Amino acid sequence: MDLVIRNASLADGRRQIDIAIEHGRIAALGPQLAVAGAREIDAGGDLVTPPFVDAHFHMDATLSYGLPRVNQSGTLLEGIALWGELKPVLLQEALIERAMQYCDWAVARGLLAIRSHVDICDDRLLAVEALLEVRRRVAPYLDLQLVAFPQDGILRSATAFDNLRRAIAMGVDVVGGIPHFERTMAEGAQSVRLLCELAAERGLRVDMHCDESDDPMSRHIETLAFETHRLGMHGRVAGSHLTSMHSMDNYYVSKLLPLICEAGVAAIANPLINITLQGRHDSYPKRRGMTRVPELLAAGVDVAFGHDCVMDPWYSLGSGDMLEVAHMGLHVAQMTGQEAMHQCFLAVTATPARILGLEGYGLEPGCHADFVLLDAASTVEAIRLRAARRLVVRRGVVVSEAPRAGATLHLPGRPATVDFRLGR
Ligand code: FE2
């Protein structure tokens, strides 16, 4: 074997598992495998998990913090205005450089697949060209999936539909949309229909910014579920944000949830961004604004958590850590039950992998040898500690290493070190 990992814990609770890797794939997995590896690594009982997956990101804006100025108020509206100032002066090489730097951070965080929206409303399609180049450059170590995103509205912006078609012809993978930003509810619904028809015709997936609003009457998710069902696109469509569901009438939601489930539409919440940008028109009580994650899960809907933004016009924080995203999602949704906490881990790993349609994802024989060794014993501990990524492996090759977390103490009569792990 090229590589053997010994004594790993797995997310499903199995302990003392060995993982054998050959030719970039998992050859065998089980207790005490009778194989020898060219390299053997002792996991020491720590958690080995498939890599983190971010189902919702904006790589064309990432790490542009301070360009051309900082978002002083921290609000969505100033963020949009700032992006409008930055867009015309974007330089392709600088954008590529920022995206490449973010991908370095991602790899170090064990984040090896990202679905990024790319704004197609700039007629030069400079960001599209740049991110296609980034996708090519990072392909050996990171799966980058691109969504053609009409930030200014596909009907509201005169050239957006043409630009979106051009972006798809250039190789962008997924059809995006922003129905709640179109001029009227009717045009929003029309945009959903047109974009879903285009995707169905081309055999593409769909991922729309949908109802990113506190307006309980923003119901484009209903149209998205209807069109998905009508066009037979089950399992290939996602609604991102869906924050208006937070404020909707409970009776209406009780009808909506089965429709979303029937259509096989996935939901992507973005906890860090939703909790900071929504509810801004409220005084007190102030709404959280994140979509109804536990209720969607209970209805049988796939729910992923996305990072959305890192150091860009909308969000000054973040570092590509999907455990930070899961940590925030867990708190905002009050998902503190044991199974619910585990679901939050799945929302940044296996669930988004399914939404992206990643081939060979998982820890089973035959899957790609892509995984992360975490400084934690379980998925809940990983979230609690935002655990260090001791090892990140892509196609059987170690691509990043980090030390365990901890500190040296100088306290008389107390232990010399702490590592924040219980019972060690
Ligand atoms: Fe977004």
Residue 194: burial class (beta carbons within 10 Å; 0-12, 13-18, 19+): middle
Q: List, for residues 27-43, the tens digit of each pLDDT value.
A: 999 999 999 999 999 99
- Quick one: pLDDT band at residue 227, thresholds 50, 70, 90? very high
Provide the pLDDT for residue 23. Answer: 98
Ligand 1 center to residue 148 CA distance, Å? 12
Four-CA torsion 356, 357, 363, 368, nearest 10 degrees:
-100
Ligand 1 center to residue 20 CA distance, Å? 38
Structure token pair of residue 243: 């924050």
pLDDT: which is higher, 76 or 333: 333
Ligand 1 center to residue 149 CA distance, Å? 9
Report which of 204, 203, 208, 122 is spatially closest to residue 160, judged by C-alpha positions: 122
Provide the pLDDT for residue 76. Answer: 80
Ligand 1 center to residue 200 CA distance, Å? 22
Ligand 1 center to residue 18 CA distance, Å? 39
**Res 423 pLDDT > 80:** no
- Quick one: pLDDT band at residue 75, thresholds 50, 70, 90? confident
Residue 401: beta bridge partners?
A: 391
Q: List, for residues 268-281, the tens digit of each pLDDT value.
A: 999 999 999 999 99
Domains of the chain: 3-50+362-408 (2.30.40.10), 52-356 (3.20.20.140)
Integer Cα distance of 149 and 176 in angstroms: 5
Assessment of whether the complete model's pTM goes beyond 0.95: yes
- Please give the backbone phi and psi of residue 88, each rounded to the nearest 5 degrees, phi first: -70, -20
Q: List, for residues 114-156, the tens digit of each pLDDT value.
A: 999 999 999 999 999 999 999 999 999 999 999 999 999 999 9
Integer Cα distance of 224 and 229 in angstroms: 9
Integer Cα distance of 36 and 1 in angstroms: 6
Contact yes or no for 182/191 (Cβ under 8 A): yes
**Res 198 pLDDT > 90:** yes
Residue 246 C-alpha from the chain's centroid? 20
Ligand 1 center to residue 307 CA distance, Å? 9
- Quick one: pLDDT band at residue 77, thresholds 50, 70, 90? confident
Question: For the chain, what is the mean pLDDT?
Answer: 97
Out of 78, 197, 212, 381, pick the active-site residue: 212
- Quick one: pLDDT band at residue 88, thresholds 50, 70, 90? confident
- Quick one: pLDDT band at residue 87, thresholds 50, 70, 90? confident
387-407 in b/e form (b: 16+ CB < 10 A) is: bbbbbbbbbbeebbebeebee
Identify whether 352 is preceded by a cis peptide bond (ω within 30 of 0): no
Integer Cα distance of 97 and 298 in angstroms: 42
Report which of 122, 134, 125 is spatially closest to residue 62, judged by C-alpha positions: 134
- Quick one: pLDDT band at residue 104, thresholds 50, 70, 90? very high
Compute the average pLDDT of residues 179-199.
98
Contact yes or no for 71/37 (Cβ under 8 A): no
Compute the average pLDDT of residues 309-335.
97
Contact yes or no for 210/177 (Cβ under 8 A): yes
- Quick one: pLDDT band at residue 424, thresholds 50, 70, 90? confident
Active site residue 212: yes
Task: Sort strands 417-418 and 174-175 into parallel, antiparallel or unpaired.
Answer: unpaired
Integer Cα distance of 396 and 365 in angstroms: 13
CA distances from 17 to 7, 31, 49, 157, 241 (A): 5, 5, 12, 54, 37
**Using N-to-C axis directions, what is the helix angle for 220-230 and 250-263, rounded to 10°?**
30
